[in-house]
Homo-oligomer: A and B are copies of this chain.
Amino acid sequence: MSTASATRGVNVTAAGVLELLERGRTLSTPVLRSAVERLAPPMDTVAAYHFGWIDAAGRPADGDGGKAVRPALALLSAEAAGVPPEVGIPGAVAVELVHNFSLLHDDLMDGDEQRRHRDTVWKVHGPAQAILVGDALFALANEVLLEQCTVDAGRATRRLTVATRKLIDGQAQDISFEHRERVTVEECLEMEGNKTGALLACASSIGAVLGGASDSDADALEEYGYHLGLAFQAIDDLLGIWGDPAATGKQTWSDLRQRKKSLPVVAALAAGGSASEQLGELLAADAKNPETGAFSEEEFALRAALIEEAGGREWTSQEARRQYATAIAALDKMDMPDEIQRKLVGLADFVVVREK
């Protein structure tokens, strides 16, 4: 075994990463689809719409089901533990189910009308279906894992449950931050660790757990995934303000519209200086006004420019790199095949350079 820092130079090509993502999708989708087909009507149809398998009229579609980073990680983690990637499939599917449960509920709570370039489920099928199908996907996640009556399936379910609770804690913190005038950078990182880090940590270790990895090996993989999640989220926060709507499928200034106290915002507010102060005054005034939905493009552009001027954009970009480095370093804590380690590094590279 070589160390991650030594392997860092030996890049997996972009094509290699796409292959890993494709493998994750190919191996997990049939199991995911057969799980979703178990749902009672109309939940099966609503879920199929959410996953992009059918359109709003019920016609077969080949929608954007997301990047599928999590399934790719789950299968790689099985290989990191020295078992075939297929061992990680129930874990990959369970994590995807939990991820999509949270998307369904979060879109409703946040009032988001678009996801993956399509209307969100609550918008098409109503709030009750968004709640119900979310609940059903969460339950299915446990069902898929516990179909194997093994001690490792129990361990995996336990880790997934803890991750899911953190995910929910993170969403609760995220919502509460929208109603607060000030949020510290530390609070924001904690929230993002819960909301994004925990489930990516689980995705990065669940295949290994199903393959009988020791707790300390699973913890090392979780650490990689947790910090990768924080890097991923930092990029997401940048895209949430400066992302290209054509690429992200979200509105311009999406996070500003929702008054999200995301990393660029809290970092800018913490930075001090005149742009930071002006931003603080504007946001404080916004907080007293429930009608920011009526803001003009110029008003959002001004806030974005102040965040950038105060250094929030640059700090977040550096933070993504710091979290990436911590993720990569964690891989050295586990003895795994060099080739798998390089692939995990390659996936991390992919996560921090994405544009959507």
Q: How large is the interface on A (under 10, 10 to 19, 20 to 34, 35 or more residues)?
A: 35 or more
Q: Are A165 and B136 in contact (CB under 8 A)?
A: yes
Q: Give the distance to chain B from A184, nearest Cβ to Cβ, in Å.
A: 16
- Chain A 140-183 per-residue mask, 1 if CB under 8 angstroms from chain B, else 0: 10110011010101110110011011001101110110000000
**A68 beta carbon closer than 8 Å to chain B:** no
Asked whether A135 and B42 contact (CB < 8 A) given A154-B157, A157-B142, the answer is: no
A139: Cβ under 8 A from any B Cβ: yes
A142 closest partner in B (C-beta): B161
User: Which residues does chain B contribute within 8 Å of A142, judged by CB atoms?
Assistant: 142, 157-158, 161
Chain B contacts of A194 at CB under 8 A? Answer: 40
Does A99 make an interface contact (CB < 8 A)?
A: no
Query: Which residues of chain B come closer than 8 Å to A275, judged between CB atoms?
Result: none
The minimal Cβ–Cβ distance linking A21 to chain B, given in whole angstroms, is 28
Q: Which chain B residues border A109 with CB–CB below 8 Å?
A: 127-128, 131-132
A50 on the B face (CB < 8 A): no
* A interface secondary structure, majority: helix
In the complex, which residues of chain B have a beta carbon less than 8 angstroms from the beta carbon of A151?
Answer: 149, 151, 154
Cβ A40 vs Cβ B172 within 8 A: yes
Contact of A128 among B41, B136, B153, B175 (CB under 8 A): B175
Identify the interface centre among A41, A109, A153, A172: most chain B CB within 10 Å of its CB. Answer: A172
Closest to A38 in B: B165
Q: If A151-B151, A165-B140 touch, does A40 touch B146 (CB 8 Å cutoff)? A: no
Q: With A128-B109, A131-B131, A154-B157 known to touch, is A143 a contact of B162 (CB < 8 Å)?
A: yes
A139 to chain B, nearest CB (A): 4
**Chain B residues near A51 (CB, 8 Å)?**
none
From B38, B143, B154, A154 is in contact (CB under 8 Å) with: B154
Return A122 CB to nearest CB of chain B, in Å. 11
CB distance from A48 to the nearest CB of B (A): 14
Contacts of A171 in B (CB 8 A): 132
In the complex with contacts A151-B149, A153-B154, A42-B165 CB distance below 8 A: no
Asked if A158 and B131 sit within 8 Å, CB to CB, the answer is no
Selected from B105, B127, B140, B147, the residue in CB contact (under 8 A) with A135 is: B105
Q: Any chain B CB within 8 A of the CB of A232? A: no
Asked whether A138 is an interface residue with its Cβ less than 8 Å from the other chain, the reply is yes
Rounded to whole Å, the gap between the CB of A308 and the closest CB of chain B is 30
Partner of A173, one of B40, B128, B161, B165: B40
Return chain B residues, CB-CB under 8 Å to A38.
165
Per the bound structure, the CA–CA distance linking A168 and B101 in Å amounts to 13
- Determine which of B127, B139, B165 lies in contact with A143 in the assembled complex, contact meaning CB atoms within 8 Å: B165
A39 CB contacts on chain B under 8 angstroms: 169, 172
In this assembly, does A43 line the interface, its C-beta being within 8 Å of a C-beta of chain B? yes
Asked whether A269 is an interface residue with its Cβ less than 8 Å from the other chain, the reply is no
A101: nearest residue on chain B (CB-CB)? B135
- Separation in Å of the A312 CB from the closest CB of chain B? 25
Residue A108 lies at the interface, judged by CB distance under 8 Å to chain B: yes
Which B residue's beta carbon lies closest to that of A140? Answer: B165
> 5 more A-B contacts (CB under 8 A) besides A42-B172, A43-B172, A132-B172?
A41-B172, A43-B168, A105-B135, A109-B128, A136-B168
